[in-house]
Amino acid sequence: MGKFVISPHFRLQEWVAEEKGYFNSEGLDYEFRSNWEGDDLGKTHATPDKVGAYQNIEQGRQSNVSCACHWTVNVAASAGHGKLYADCYSVAPSGIFVAADSGIRAPQDLKGVPISVGYQSGSHYSTIQALEPYLKPDEIRLSFADGILFGRMEKLVDRKVPACALFSGPYYFVEQLGFRKVIDTTFMIATMLAGDPDPEDVRKYFRALRRAQRDIDLRPERYTHYYRREFPKRFLGEMDTRRWGPGERLVFEPYTREVYEDAFHWIAEHKIFEDGKMGAGRYEDAVVTLASA
């Protein structure tokens, strides 16, 4: 069995665990890959229309452990593209942002306004979920053609889109620049296990992340500089990560059957996937738990 492959996902925990030597101290034989460092927006963040997190998982990811919004991982696992790791999830601060001088000031002002989101990604589902109390389904207009996270952030900064759903570092960056959050869209992220990783390696990985999470909780200002590692070079000179928050937080509680089924049914009701694409939605087939194994 080869090395356990670790790739950060726009969050701080993997960077902190690597800096502190937590993966090594847990005895994990691993390879650390930074997928986005020094990234070129024009190449990796300019995606075709309706290509997002689910399509990325469907094509196959290189790391043993990867993350996406819990809705996408839920369906991907149901469809046989890996297993949802049910012993931990995370919560990512997220929101819909507009320019400071925009006339959009309340959620209902977004009626008919194109909102840039990632297709079948956290921003897609969470935007619908957040706006449903304010708008009818046919009044919520989503745009999937503006790139994934940093790509659509760039278009918002350049005033090429009127509204944009962002999380993690881009959330804090546009907030720093004075863009206004119209509504909070915070959402859950789940872990996808791909291939056949050694269960003990998975335990070691999450023990290291748990230690990193405690460090971040205690002194977040020491670690927000790691956002710079995954930002495109264009924006590095403007960033002041001392003003930013800790972002995504790992929650070491189970992703239960009730949560799984509730999310699966919500996705089906909203017809986000084509018929037959979601799989059977059987919790026992889609998830893996190692807590008591």
Report the percent of the chain where pLDDT is more than 70: 89
173 shares its domain with 235: no
Residue 44's pLDDT is 47
| pLDDT tens digits for range 191-216 | 999 878 899 999 999 999 999 999 99
Of 211, 178, 171, residue with least CA distance to 10: 171
pLDDT reading at 48 higher than 50: yes
Q: Decide which of 151, 186, 221 is a domain's last residue.
A: 186
Q: Are residues 191 and 66 in contact, defined by beta-carbon separation less than 8 angstroms?
A: yes
Instruction: Kindly state whether residues 107 and 252 are assigned to the same domain.
Output: no
For 157-193, the pLDDT digits (tens) are 999 999 999 999 999 999 999 999 999 999 999 999 9
Tell whether 279 and 193 lie within a shared domain: yes
Strands in the chain per DSSP E:
4-6, 30-32, 65-69, 83-92, 94-98, 114-116, 141-143, 163-167, 180-184, 187-193, 249-251, 287-288
pLDDT in tens, 55-85: 665 555 556 788 899 999 999 999 988 899 9
| Residues 192 and 82 grouped into a single domain | yes
Residues 44 and 66 in one domain: yes
pLDDT tens figures, 246-289: 999 999 999 999 999 999 999 999 999 988 889 999 999 999 99
Please tell me the predicted confidence (pLDDT) of residue 275.
81
